[in-house]
A = this chain, B = another copy of it.
């Protein structure tokens, strides 16, 4: 049967192909934040015939459909994760590179206030914290 993400795609009314099903399965099975190359490699292990152009096109489709979320961690390529209902930001351990997800409603509210005060409607934001573990 289909993966969790495949179900979401169907709910969103997306046309499902074998390649899209493969990519959804790969993403459902991933617990990290893979880039396109990694998704492509993992998908190739299931379907050796898949094209990287299809991976790019599908990642874009899934992102536009809010099935996945795209991140730019500054290393030159996009990285992705499943789109969860709760919005979360990231805290990076600058020693280990580990990424921790967190949510904070108060910060979100303040961001909107800041934007409004400057005459803008907030469309999106990027918040990354960098820290070291307290022993």
Contacts of A102 in B (CB 8 A): 114, 118
Copies in the complex: 2
> Does A13 make an interface contact (CB < 8 A)?
no
> Does A129 make an interface contact (CB < 8 A)?
yes
Q: How many residues of A contact B (CB 8 A)?
A: 32
Contacts of A14 in B (CB 8 A): none
- A100 and B115 CA atoms in complex are apart in Å by 10
A-B interface, 9 closest residue pairs, ranked by CB to CB distance from nearest: A120-B131, A124-B130, A126-B128, A115-B131, A125-B129, A122-B131, A107-B110, A123-B130, A127-B127
Using a CB–CB cutoff of 8 Å, the interface residues on chain A facing chain B are 72, 74, 91, 93-94, 100, 102, 104, 106-107, 110-111, 114-116, 118-134
